[in-house]
Amino acid sequence: MANLSVDISSIELLIHCIRDEKVILDRDLAKLYGVETKVLLRAVKRNLDRFPVDFMFQLTNQEFKNLRSQSGTSSQWGGRRYPPYAFSEQGVAMLSSVLHSKRAIQVNVEIMRTFVRLRRMLSSHAELAGRLEQLEMKYDKQFASVFDAIRQLMKESDKPKPKIGYKT
């Protein structure tokens, strides 16, 4: 991977959640592959049967507007006249069959690894949340008296405190 000029760790930053899908936008993929966005889209459009809607979709104008407002600067979107295309993990995998360069293959491998890493992180978070919930249910009963005592102490602290200082 040393010959890639793209920082592979930055791929995670390119993944957006749109329509409850984890996707990478056409311009970001084009940058990773070292081609112009129009070249990437031309190759895709020549092979549209390989890209069903769960592999690739075009953002609506509202989604595009929301995305631009989230990114902070509109200059990075240039003079784009139409909303970008978003590629799911499967769509990115299909790109390697459409783009035939060695770089495209190398980048695809790294993108797939990134998607797998994200999936693992999300599943471990879900697993951790489940364990925490089980522990709370188990120990809530045991520590109910402790929590009650703490609540009592908190109530007592609401009483007005005597003034401190010298009395004359």
Convert the pLDDT of each residue in 23-57 to its tens digit: 999 999 998 888 899 999 999 999 999 999 999 99
Q: Is residue 53 part of a domain?
A: yes
Please tell me the predicted confidence (pLDDT) of residue 1: 43
Residue 30 lies in a domain: yes
- Is 41 contained in some domain? yes
Question: Does 32 reside within a domain?
Answer: yes
Q: 57 lies in a domain?
A: yes
We report the CATH number of the domain holding residue 37 as: 3.10.260
| Whether 15 contacts 32, CB under 8 Å | no
**Burial class for 63, CB neighbours closer than 10 Å (0-12, 13-18, 19+):** middle
Residue-level pLDDT at 146? 66
Higher pLDDT, 107 or 141: 107
Q: What angle do CA 45, 88, 102 make, to 5 degrees?
A: 65
Nearest to 26 by CA among 10, 12, 42, 9: 42
Q: What is the pTM of this model?
A: 0.62
Query: Shortest CA distance to 122 belongs to which of 114, 134, 132, 111?
Result: 114
pLDDT at 99 over 90: no
Q: Is the pLDDT of residue 16 over 70?
A: yes
Provide the number of structural domains found in the chain.
Answer: 1
Segment among 51-65, 103-117, 152-166 with least mean pLDDT: 152-166
SS3 16: strand
- Whole-angstrom distance, CA of residue 156 vs CA of residue 118: 48
pLDDT mean across residues, the chain: 78
Which residues on adjacent β-strands are paired with residue 25?
A: 86
Write down the residue that tokens 């953002």 correspond to.
Answer: 59
Classify residue 17: in a domain, yes or no: yes
The per-residue pLDDT for 2 is 45
Residue 147's pLDDT is 63
Could you list the residue range(s) of the whole structural domain that residue 71 is in? 8-126
Backbone angles phi, psi at 80, to 5 degrees: -60, 130
Residue 7 clears pLDDT 70, i.e. is over it: no
Q: Using the predicted structure, report yes or no on whether residue 75 has a pLDDT greater than 80.
A: no
User: If you average pLDDT over residues 92-117, what whole number do you get?
Assistant: 81
160 is a domain residue = no
Residue 158 included in any domain: no
Contact 85, 25 (CB under 8 A): yes
